[in-house]
């Protein structure tokens, strides 16, 4: 739902008389004269409020001979009332994702030199997983590597290839069998808590 439509909805229901009209129409359709009598207002006041509610798609009307009956559009009311919660969740999730990406980038900046080499492996597990994930990004999925190939790959980033290779296995980034290494699918990797 577009934000301007959502704002328009909340402006439409942001009036005591219009809220009372909605409450009355929940019990069934009413004509303008009946609404004016129940609310103690003039028919032109009802016409004004019904225009606002109709523009927000909260009511619709049907003519019966010379009388116009107003009906509550309950489906639209429900959808629009719940839409604000979805907007909040979506923007909150997007903000959380941006914050996580910023934290990840900051950690990588702290542990990698400008040339991409690793300064040192972090001691804290959460940071270590982020560093290891960056290191395995250069490996090809479904390719089988010998231990020598993995050592050479890791040595591009840091001289302690044995520790990093062991961390790859312990944290499920890679699988090893008979000294052959293969990258695990990302779903199997240990993930750092956000």
Confidence of residue 87 (pLDDT cuts 50, 70, 90): low
Q: Is residue 119 part of a domain?
A: yes
What mean pLDDT is predicted for residues 125-143?
A: 93
pLDDT of the residue at 25: 93
pLDDT of the residue at 194: 47
pLDDT at 4 over 50: yes
What mean pLDDT is predicted for residues 31-48?
A: 93
| pTM of the entire predicted model | 0.52
pLDDT at 81 over 60: yes
pLDDT at 74 over 70: yes
List, for residues 168-183, the tens digit of each pLDDT value: 999 999 999 998 999 9
| Cβ atoms within 10 Å, residue 99 | 11
Residue-range definition of the domain harbouring residue 150: 112-188
Average pLDDT, the chain: 89
Q: Is residue 33 part of a domain?
A: yes
Query: Could you tell me if 69 and 124 lie in one domain?
Result: no
Structural domain count of the chain: 2
Lowest-pLDDT range, 57-66, 96-105, 112-121, 173-182? Answer: 96-105
Alpha carbon 93 to chain centroid distance? 3
- Residue ending a domain, among 55, 77, 99, is 77
Match 């309950």 to its residue by tokens: 74
The enclosing domain of 70 has a CATH number of: 1.10.10.10
Nearest-angstrom CA–CA distance, 93 and 101: 12
Query: Could you tell me if 175 and 124 lie in one domain?
Result: yes
Query: Could you tell me if 116 and 55 lie in one domain?
Result: no
Burial 23-58 (b: 16+ CB within 10 A, else e): ebbeeebbbbeebbeebebeeeebeebbebbeebbb
For residues 145 and 165, the answer to whether their CB atoms sit within 8 Å is no
Query: Could you tell me if 127 and 180 lie in one domain?
Result: yes
């Amino acid at each position: 739902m577009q934000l301007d439509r959502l704002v328009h909805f909340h402006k439409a229901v942001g009036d005591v008389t219009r809220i009372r009209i909605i409450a009355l129409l929940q019990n069934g359709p009413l004509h303008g004269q009946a609404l004016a009598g129940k609310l103690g207002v003039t028919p032109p006041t009802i016409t004004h409020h019904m225009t606002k509610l109709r523009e927000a798609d909260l009511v619709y009307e049907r003519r019966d001979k010379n009388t116009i009956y107003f009906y509550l559009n309950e489906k639209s009311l429900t959808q629009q009332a719940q839409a604000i919660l979805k907007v909040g969740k979506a923007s909150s999730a997007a903000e959380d994702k941006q914050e996580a990406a910023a934290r990840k980038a900051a950690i990588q900046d702290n542990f990698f030199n400008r040339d991409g080499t690793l300064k040192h492996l972090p001691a804290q597990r959460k940071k270590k997983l982020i560093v290891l994930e960056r290191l395995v990004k250069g490996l090809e999925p479904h390719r089988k590597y010998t231990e020598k190939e993995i050592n050479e790959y890791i040595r591009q980033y840091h001289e302690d290839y044995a520790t990093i290779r062991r961390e790859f296995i312990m944290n499920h980034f890679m699988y090893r069998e008979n000294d052959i290494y293969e990258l695990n699918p990302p779903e199997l990797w240990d993930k750092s808590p956000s």
